[in-house]
């Protein structure tokens, strides 16, 4: 998630001319204050807009980073901040020109709600890489009402239909919510690097991202190995679809797998040694980072040069690929493993998230917001 300039999307509408409606949510007023009830305004749906009554909203680590302004150097937080970009709800109103949704439909919103629509990335369906700058679901300049966008820790949201997603009806709605970030963040690199049958694939870390990576790589037909520092995660990893588990602190075990992996997806945001995993790639193998450690990690050039290995990064996915991911999950019965919480426990959930005390994603039941 990143900030964008107002010029990144269609020209800003006059806040005085744009209709408004009151709603409520939970917001942080500063980097040190707890999240508390907050009344604010959404725009009335325009001709191309969909209004969604939010049923569930996932809790992403990005929410915590933003609330506490931990990414100040990259994307400073504008307060009050209403987080939430893993949104599932029901359509309550549509604009006159909306053709993809009708009142009563299930709908979802992920990490972005607009983009320039004109750059090469947008034309390719990769709005998340918008070269002008995407409008993200929260903490981005709001081109409609001014100020910044407010996210899914709220009763409702209004989004252009081109950035709204259809939800498979056969899946548990609460457990679908984390797919809008954790799901697409892991699905996108697996698809881009064409992970599939006959490939030996490693997933580093078994958290909110890692557990989705295991499920998705398994469903794509790969032979999946989980790398973890925690022996107590072995059984869970196998339940989720990993055929093998390697305790990464066991140097002898790691050395058995040198030059054997086609692809490794690194989901860890804590400081760790990338070289230990690069050595496990075959010639022409790829390692992709979706976790974002705070400090830069040293990489030994010869670990890349001597086997023509690649080290890359990947961020969420565009709207078409996110819909593809949801459809894939619907076909294969894939959702996140979640713990459902009321909104009143969000600060407690943040503290537990810091301790990795969740299997594997918190989801807010928005019915608890009164």
Task: Say yes or no: 306 and 349 in one domain.
Answer: no
Identify whether 329 is part of a domain.
Answer: no
Number of domains making up the chain: 2
Task: Say yes or no: 71 and 131 in one domain.
Answer: yes
Locate all alpha helices (DSSP H) within 193-318, ordered by sequence: 208-219, 234-240, 251-255, 275-278, 301-305
Q: Which residues pair with 311 in a beta bridge?
A: 287
Number of Cβ within 10 Å of residue 129's Cβ equals 16
Task: Say yes or no: 202 and 298 in one domain.
Answer: yes
Task: Say yes or no: 21 and 94 in one domain.
Answer: yes
Containing structural domain, residue 194:
182-313
Q: State yes or no: pLDDT of 259 exceeds 90.
A: yes
Task: Say yes or no: 164 and 194 in one domain.
Answer: no
Identify whether 111 is part of a domain.
Answer: yes
Task: Say yes or no: 304 and 230 in one domain.
Answer: yes
- Distance from C-alpha of 321 to C-alpha of 360, rounded to nearest angstrom: 23
Identify whether 319 is part of a domain.
Answer: no
* Location of structure tokens 């725009």: 43
pTM comes to 0.92
pLDDT for 5 equals 34
Q: State yes or no: pLDDT of 364 exceeds 80.
A: yes
pLDDT for 9 equals 37
Tokens of 25: 């949510």
Average pLDDT, the chain: 93
Q: State yes or no: pLDDT of 17 exceeds 60.
A: no
pLDDT (mean) for 109-138:
97
Identify whether 200 is part of a domain.
Answer: yes
Question: Between 294 and 139, whose confidence is greater?
Answer: 139
Give residue 18's pLDDT band: very low, low, confident or very high (50, 70, 90). Answer: low
Identify whether 318 is part of a domain.
Answer: no
- Write b or e for each residue in 69-104: b if 16 or more Cβ atoms lie within 10 A of its Cβ, otherwise e: bebeeebebbebbbbbbbbbbbbbbbbeebeebeee
What percentage of residues in the chain have a pLDDT greater than 90? 91
What CATH number does the domain containing 187 carry?
3.40.50.720
pLDDT for 236 equals 96
Identify whether 323 is part of a domain.
Answer: no
What percentage of residues in the chain have a pLDDT greater than 70? 95
Q: State yes or no: pLDDT of 3 exceeds 50.
A: no
Identify whether 322 is part of a domain.
Answer: no
Task: Say yes or no: 60 and 158 in one domain.
Answer: yes
- Distance from C-alpha of 200 to C-alpha of 290, rounded to nearest angstrom: 19
Residues contacting 82, CB < 8 A, separation 6+: 25, 26, 27, 38, 40, 138, 150, 151, 153, 154
What's the angle, vertex CA 268, arms to CA 262 and CA 273, rounded to 5? 75
What's the angle, vertex CA 109, arms to CA 107 and CA 114, rounded to 5? 125
Task: Say yes or no: 64 and 124 in one domain.
Answer: yes
Task: Say yes or no: 122 and 249 in one domain.
Answer: no
What CATH number does the domain containing 112 carry?
3.90.180.10
Task: Say yes or no: 39 and 69 in one domain.
Answer: yes
- Distance from C-alpha of 268 to C-alpha of 99, rounded to nearest angstrom: 40
Tens digits of residue pLDDT in 26-45: 999 999 999 999 999 999 99
140 near 148, Cβ under 8 Å?
A: yes
- Distance from C-alpha of 44 to C-alpha of 25, rounded to nearest angstrom: 17
Task: Say yes or no: 153 and 192 in one domain.
Answer: no
Task: Say yes or no: 154 and 229 in one domain.
Answer: no
Identify whether 331 is part of a domain.
Answer: no
């Amino acid at each position: 998630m990143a900030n964008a300039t107002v010029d990144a999307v269609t020209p800003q509408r006059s806040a005085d001319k744009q209709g408004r409606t009151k709603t409520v949510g939970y917001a942080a007023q500063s980097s040190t204050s707890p999240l508390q009830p907050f009344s604010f305004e959404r725009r009335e749906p325009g001709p191309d807009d969909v209004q969604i009554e939010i049923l569930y909203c996932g809790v992403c680590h990005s929410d915590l980073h933003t609330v506490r302004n931990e990414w100040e150097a990259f994307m400073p937080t504008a307060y009050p901040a209403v987080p939430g970009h893993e949104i599932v709800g029901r359509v309550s109103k549509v604009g006159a020109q909306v053709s993809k949704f009708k009142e009563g439909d299930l709908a979802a919103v992920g990490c972005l709600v607009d983009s320039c629509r004109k750059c090469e990335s947008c034309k390719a369906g990769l709005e998340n890489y918008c070269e002008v700058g995407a409008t993200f679901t929260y903490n981005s300049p709001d081109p409609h009402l001014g100020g910044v966008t407010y996210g899914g820790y709220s009763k409702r949201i209004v989004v252009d239909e081109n950035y709204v997603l259809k939800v498979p009806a056969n899946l548990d709605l609460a457990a679908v919510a984390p797919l809008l970030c954790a799901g697409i963040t892991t699905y996108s690199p697996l698809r881009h690097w064409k992970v599939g049958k006959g490939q030996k694939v490693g997933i580093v870390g078994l958290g909110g991202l890692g557990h989705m990576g295991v499920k998705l790589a398994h469903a794509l037909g790969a032979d999946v190995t989980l790398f973890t520092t925690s022996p107590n995660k072995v059984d869970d990893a196998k339940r989720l679809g990993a055929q093998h588990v390697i305790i990464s602190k066991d140097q002898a075990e790691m050395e058995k797998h040198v030059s054997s992996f086609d692809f490794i997806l690194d989901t860890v945001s804590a400081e760790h040694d990338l070289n230990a995993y690069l050595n496990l790639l075959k010639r022409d193998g790829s390692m992709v980072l979706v976790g974002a450690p705070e400090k830069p990690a040293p990489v030994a050039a010869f670990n890349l040069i001597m086997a023509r290995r690649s080290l890359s990064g990947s961020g969420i996915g565009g709207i078409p690929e996110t819909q593809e991911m949801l459809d894939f999950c619907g076909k294969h019965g894939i959702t996140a493993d979640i713990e459902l919480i009321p909104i009143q426990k969000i600060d407690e959930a943040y503290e537990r998230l810091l301790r990795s005390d969740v299997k594997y994603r918190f989801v807010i039941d928005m019915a608890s917001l009164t």
